Amino acid sequence: KVSDAVQDILVEISDGDLPKLLQMYEKHKGWVPHVYSVILTGIEWRKKKKEKYTTFLSPNSCWKEDGTFLVVLTHYSFDLFCFSLDDSGKNIYEGIKETNRFEADDCKDKILFLYAIHNKFYPIVAKAVREKGINLSIDDHCHMFSIPQEEALKFDTDFRCPPDVYIKQLDKSYANFINSIWPHRYEDSEIHRTFNRDERLLRSIFKINR
């Protein structure tokens, strides 16, 4: 259990050290912007929330040498993210395989999601998880594309919606509908859909009913 682990291979990265981890990935955000975003978002979430559902961990604190870290989000599901600047990913594998912070029993009542695992680490992550006796029932492969900020700022932003379409800010009142069409929904997942979402950043396209 994340909160009960003592003297475990996965050592929690303190809130004070997270900015140092972020700084380490600053020079790499051009090719792994999602990793930089995960750390930045985690820092913001932990500042805002009294409940610390998001835990940053590193095998024997090796993040200081090779940037290896894992993020465990325990709310109504069990989400796992990881990355390393060491292409071998050996510390990721050892951390998952040897930790007592989460076991197969922890995933009996919660779905395990491997969140945005890079393709070069996915085989060893999946191997370590399965060797712990944790079932991976869903395997979705996605492509991620990015563009440098300076290039994105050159885009023509004079966007006009068609006359029968408009853009509107989302709020928590849409959670039930969004959850109803989410293919991986589970019991009480509508609560997870609203958890830690910054409503100021959420937009959707709506069609005018005539």
List, for residues 81-118, the tens digit of each pLDDT value. Answer: 999 999 999 999 999 999 998 888 877 777 788 888 99
- Among the listed residues 196, 200, 193, 201, the one whose alpha carbon sits nearest the alpha carbon of residue 177: 193
pTM of the predicted structure, to 2 decimals = 0.76
> Which pLDDT value is given to residue 185?
73
Higher-scoring residue by pLDDT: 141, 63 = 63
67: left (phi over 0), alpha (psi -120 to 50) or beta: left
| End-to-end CA, the chain | 53
> Which pLDDT value is given to residue 5?
45
Residue 206 one-letter amino acid: F
Residues 6+ apart with CB under 8 A from 185: 179
> Which pLDDT value is given to residue 3?
47
The DSSP code sequence of 5-30 is --S-SEEEPPTTTHHHHHHHHHTTTT
Half-sphere exposure of 108 (CA within 13 A, CB side): 4
The residue to which tokens 């989410």 are assigned: 182
Please, are residues 172 and 199 in contact by the beta-carbon 8 Å criterion?
Answer: yes
- Encoding tokens for residue 20? 């140092």
**What average pLDDT does range 176-185 have in this prediction?**
80
> Which pLDDT value is given to residue 78?
78
Please, are residues 12 and 72 in contact by the beta-carbon 8 Å criterion?
Answer: no
- Encoding tokens for residue 197? 């979402």
Mean pLDDT lowest for which of 26-30, 99-103, 200-204?
200-204
Superfamily of domain 10-131: Gcn5-related N-acetyltransferase (GNAT) (3.40.630.30)
Percentage of residues in the chain having pLDDT higher than 90:
41
Give the model's confidence band at 146: pLDDT under 50 very low, under 70 low, under 90 confident, else very high.
confident
Boundaries of CATH 3.40.630.30 in the chain?
Answer: 10-131
**What average pLDDT does range 32-44 have in this prediction?**
92
